[in-house]
Amino acid sequence: MAVYEIVKNGDPVLRQKAKPVPEITPNIKKLLDNMRDTMYASRGVGLAAPQIGVSKRVIVVDVGDGLYEIINPEIIESKGVETDIEGCLSIPGVVGEVPRAASVVVKGLNRDGKEVQISAKGFLARAFQHEIDHLEGILFIDRAQNVRREG
Ligand code: NI
| 71 CB-near residues (< 8 Å, 6+ apart) | 21, 24, 28, 32, 57, 58, 108, 109, 110, 111
Cα of 29 to ligand 1 centre, how many Å? Answer: 21
**8 A C-beta contact, residue 139 and residue 86:** no
The domain in which residue 62 lies consists of 12-149
Structurally, the chain folds into a number of domains equal to: 1
Cα of 9 to ligand 1 centre, how many Å? Answer: 10
Tens-place pLDDT, residues 8-39 = 999 999 999 999 999 999 999 999 999 999 99
Q: Is 131 a catalytic residue?
A: yes
User: Residue 50 falls within a domain, yes or no?
Assistant: yes
Position 1 scores a pLDDT of: 73
Cα of 45 to ligand 1 centre, how many Å? Answer: 9
User: Residue 17 falls within a domain, yes or no?
Assistant: yes
The yes-or-no verdict on residue 151 having pLDDT over 80 is no
Cα of 112 to ligand 1 centre, how many Å? Answer: 25
Q: Which residues on neighbouring strands pair with residue 68, listed in sequence order?
A: 61
Tens-place pLDDT, residues 79-88 = 999 999 999 9
Query: Could you say which of 82, 131, 136, 150 is catalytic?
Result: 131
Tens-place pLDDT, residues 120-147 = 999 999 999 999 999 999 999 999 999 9
User: Residue 52 falls within a domain, yes or no?
Assistant: yes
Cα of 110 to ligand 1 centre, how many Å? Answer: 21
* Domain CATH code at residue 117: 3.90.45.10
Pairing of strands 103-109, 94-100: unpaired
